[in-house]
Structure 1
Amino acid sequence: MTKDPAAPHSSRARRGPPQRGRGWAIDTTPLRNRPFRRLFWGVAATMLGQQMTLVAVPFQVFALTGSSLLVGVTSIVALVPLIVFGLLGGAIADTMDRRRLMLITSWGAALSSALLAVQALLPGGGNLVLLWVLTACVSGFAAVNQPTRSAAVPALVGREGVPAANALTMTVRHVFVIGGPLLAGLLISLGDLFVTYAVDAVGFVVAAVLLRGLPALPPRSTTEPVRLMAAVRGVGEGFVFLRTQPVLLMTFVVDIIAMLFAWPQAVFPELSETRYADTPNSLGWLFVGISIGALLMGLTSGWVSRVDRQGAVVLGAIVVWALAIIGFGLAPSLWLAVLCLAVAGAGDMVSAVLRTSMLLEAAPEEMRGRMQGVFLVVVAGGPRLGDLRAGAMASAAGVSVAMVSGGIVVVVAMLVVALLVPSFRRFRASRVPHEEILAGRARPDSSAPESDEGRPGPGVH
């Protein structure tokens, strides 16, 4: 077996349990690791621009066409490459140097975003077809880059640092999910669509510069060159592996259920024009409600990195999400609705951190890229399907029925998962045979006997 290229980082992290704080504040221990610090700030550099572009693209499409239908089509234009390259990118990330792949995709995204800025200067305010092509390119590069970044985390911080590293990354993301759209709205109102896109391009350039300082992260063992058919076969191998691992499979299933039946974003415009029409900027507050809760949870997530019974806590967090969405559907005032959305966002944050940690801890090293590719597709596709369900049901039966019924379905589904898939409910981070999995010699088995070897420090039970 070839030597682990990240061994200097991962082996040091595995010599003993880290001295984690016991407070509620977010655990910043991974930031003491210089390679992870470069990766983290690279992520932060891209987040602001990405969130601004998510506002600018639909605005420009509507400005060019005056059609909400074409705005919806634009979402599909971005989703298709995200699915295709998210899966292929995860497979490629398992067969080539992940540092090199992150550099290639960061520069590709930077170029695509720069061209978006240039097309905004074209006569008539831009070109729809060119806008769609460039949007698809940015989405495709991001779809390869994101699972590659996630798959590289364990090699940089070690197994013990994965939950805290995930919490840090997701927290900074939600900072920009709140700030990015607000800044984009301000720039767009001033007529600076070019600057809005340019910020995204600059962010990817900064990320690429930071990523150059990472150590080489080649695959653990492979002699097959990176080819399209090899990547396609890799995707198939990933799904075959996933079928044999009920715990890993359920990390995707529970999130799809939560997003499909209880994602609320499609009803925000209707609520802002009807139920909350008398409150200034009601639409803006509805759109940032979930992120406010996720951000606050991220800043107080020190306890999350110490959770041992990760599967049970994921199920509980999704139930909190669902109950909060039920409350949102019935809320008579905007501020109560935003509070419910914030609670939902906090529950989703806990679920996302722990599900990502379960994937990175329990998947073998040679499968991590593919598992993160599937994770990206689920995270991106679930809310879009949820928008379709919520919008259709709200049109037919009303917003309250759409939200309350969906929340009830999610609560019932989590109880069913807890009963029918006990291995997920019983999953404990301390029982995963980490050393053998990291070496690619064994698969995770949450029912394995408890062992003191390689166990983290006492967790939250």
Structure 2
Amino acid sequence: MRLWMDPSPLRDRGFRAVFVGRTIAVFGLGFVLVAVPLQVYTLTGSTAGVAAVTATVGIAAFAGTLAGGVLADRHDRRVVIVAARAAAGLGYAGLTVNAFAPDPAMWAIYTCGVVDGVAGGISSTALMAATPNLVPREKLAAAGALMQLMVTIGTVAAPALGGLLVATAGFGGNYAVCTATAVVTVGSLLRLPALPAGGTGRSGPRLVAAGFAFAVRDRHVGPVLAVGIVGMVTAGWTVLLPEFTTAVLGGGPGVVGLLYAAPAAGAMLGSLTSGWTGAVVRLGPVLLLTTLLACVGLAAAGATTSALVTGLALAAFGFGRAVCDVVRYTAVLESTPDALRGRVSAVWSAQLVVSAAVGAGVAGAVAGLLPVRWAVTGYGLVALAVLLLVAVVVPPVRALRRTAAGGVVGD
């Protein structure tokens, strides 16, 4: 059993095109996620305005994931992916033109933000659905680990580079670079082979309903997605960190920044050492144990007054989440028929889209009930309680295992 990540999926031309295109797209998205809130605040001076445009883009992305699932199951996935990334490029171009205008318009920012949100939701869902058509079944875990590593690196590096772009080239320069990344992304994705999906005569809403019904009721996919509820709960940890660092750890902005990066460092290590996940048979215990590590790490991060210990605990939190996500990604794709893969991928993506809102809500509730000294630990314990509830209420998750043929079964 190998320890280190298996890079062999990159030998496949199709997956390599997806990996390169997705990597560039993640950086372009990261640049926009920094520039749009900054520009809105510069134009309006209102935090409420920033929240409004952020929420609007988030809703658009959620709608895009649902639409992407239907489109990926009804049309050639290559066409869907390329068209979505091209549409995102048009949105970036609109932001560029608006930013260079003498009087940038808020309506243009909203419109382009909605276009980019919908396009991003469609493309990410279709890309996930297409992955099993690009790599052998036994390489799905390796492909998932490569994607996880790429997203982790992009999540850390892209915002920093985006802020630097705004500082040196202004909002227009930032958006122009984003537009260029979209052009390169589309060029890479054009190298994909045809990825036809089985057509259906049913309407869009009925297709969405059928996909959700399968995801919830299937004895294998349902339990895997149930574990994702814990990930949704823990997604709001960043809400608690600034006050905890200042009041308990006695640290300033520099310490806050390092602690924000700690889970990403752990996630990178988790992805790099996930070579064994492709051969693991007992998926259920692995899912539960890696999620347990994440919950314990989060709780431990708040049980100390040492910034070093908090950082190490947050790194363990990131490590557990990353490995769990690789295993969940693989199990979902292995267990879902190709005809439903787009819509089930949409359910997966929808979980990710709403995670930040759900996690922030839970974190805010915990912060309102507990003193800052114990808020982070309390938050981790709430996540642990949700994990135990999932393990008890959804017994099939404990019995999930991979078959010799590469599928996933449970009792």
TM over 0.5: yes
**Offset of residue 191 of structure 1:** 5.0
Match of 2:376 in 1: 403
- From 248, 251, 272, give the equivalent of 2:221: 248
| Contact 1:166/1:357 (<8 A) preserved | yes
After the TM superposition, which residues 297-376 of structure 1 pair with which residues of structure 2 at under 5 Å, given as runs?
297-376=270-349
Once the two structures are superposed, residues 414-447 of structure 1 have per-residue CA deviations (whole angstroms, 9 ceiling, x without a partner) of 233333333221111226774xxxxxxxxx6423
Match of 1:106 in 2: 85
After the TM superposition, which residues 80-91 of structure 1 pair with which residues of structure 2 at under 5 Å, given as runs?
80-91=59-70
C-alpha distance in structure 2 between counterparts of 1:106 and 1:311, whole Å: 35
| Contact 2:78/2:194 (<8 A) preserved | yes
Alpha carbons of structure 1 residues 276 and 419: separation in structure 2 relative to 1, 3 Å: closer
**Offset of residue 77 of structure 1:** 0.8
| 3-state secondary structure, aligned to 2:400 | coil
Match of 1:15 in 2: none
After the TM superposition, which residues 125-140 of structure 1 pair with which residues of structure 2 at under 5 Å, given as runs?
126-140=104-118
Alpha carbons of structure 1 residues 200 and 271: separation in structure 2 relative to 1, 3 Å: farther
**Offset of residue 268 of structure 1:** 3.1
Say yes or no: does 1:182 pair with 2:160.
Answer: yes
1:162 maps to amino acid: L
Aligned length: 411
| Contact 2:140/2:330 (<8 A) preserved | yes
After the TM superposition, which residues 170-319 of structure 1 pair with which residues of structure 2 at under 5 Å, given as runs?
170-190=148-168, 192-219=170-197, 221-222=198-199, 224=201, 230-261=203-234, 263-271=236-244, 273-276=246-249, 278-319=251-292
**Offset of residue 261 of structure 1:** 4.9
Provide the TM-score with structure 1 as the length reference: 0.83
Say yes or no: does 1:166 pair with 2:149.
Answer: no
Provide the TM-score with structure 2 as the length reference: 0.93
| Contact 1:323/1:411 (<8 A) preserved | yes
**Offset of residue 342 of structure 1:** 1.5
| 3-state secondary structure, aligned to 2:220 | helix
| 3-state secondary structure, aligned to 2:2 | coil
**Offset of residue 350 of structure 1:** 0.7
Between Structure 1 and Structure 2, the one with more helix by share is 2
| Contact 2:17/2:192 (<8 A) preserved | yes
RMSD of equivalent CA atoms: 2.2
Alpha carbons of structure 1 residues 283 and 187: separation in structure 2 relative to 1, 3 Å: farther
- From 28, 44, 47, give the equivalent of 1:49: 28
Alpha carbons of structure 1 residues 181 and 433: separation in structure 2 relative to 1, 3 Å: closer
Stretches of structure 2 that go unaligned for 5 or more consecutive residues are none
Q: Which moved more, 1:183-192 or 1:93-102?
A: 183-192
| Contact 2:146/2:271 (<8 A) preserved | yes
**Offset of residue 218 of structure 1:** 0.8
Once the two structures are superposed, residues 187-219 of structure 1 have per-residue CA deviations (whole angstroms, 9 ceiling, x without a partner) of 233352223222322222212111111111111
| 3-state secondary structure, aligned to 1:94 | helix
| 3-state secondary structure, aligned to 2:266 | helix
C-alpha distance in structure 2 between counterparts of 1:206 and 1:39, whole Å: 12
C-alpha distance in structure 2 between counterparts of 1:331 and 1:417, whole Å: 28
C-alpha distance in structure 2 between counterparts of 1:254 and 1:432, whole Å: 24
C-alpha distance in structure 1 between counterparts of 2:309 and 2:5, whole Å: 27
After the TM superposition, which residues 22-101 of structure 1 pair with which residues of structure 2 at under 5 Å, given as runs?
22-101=1-80
C-alpha distance in structure 2 between counterparts of 1:60 and 1:395, whole Å: 31
Percent identity at matched positions?
30
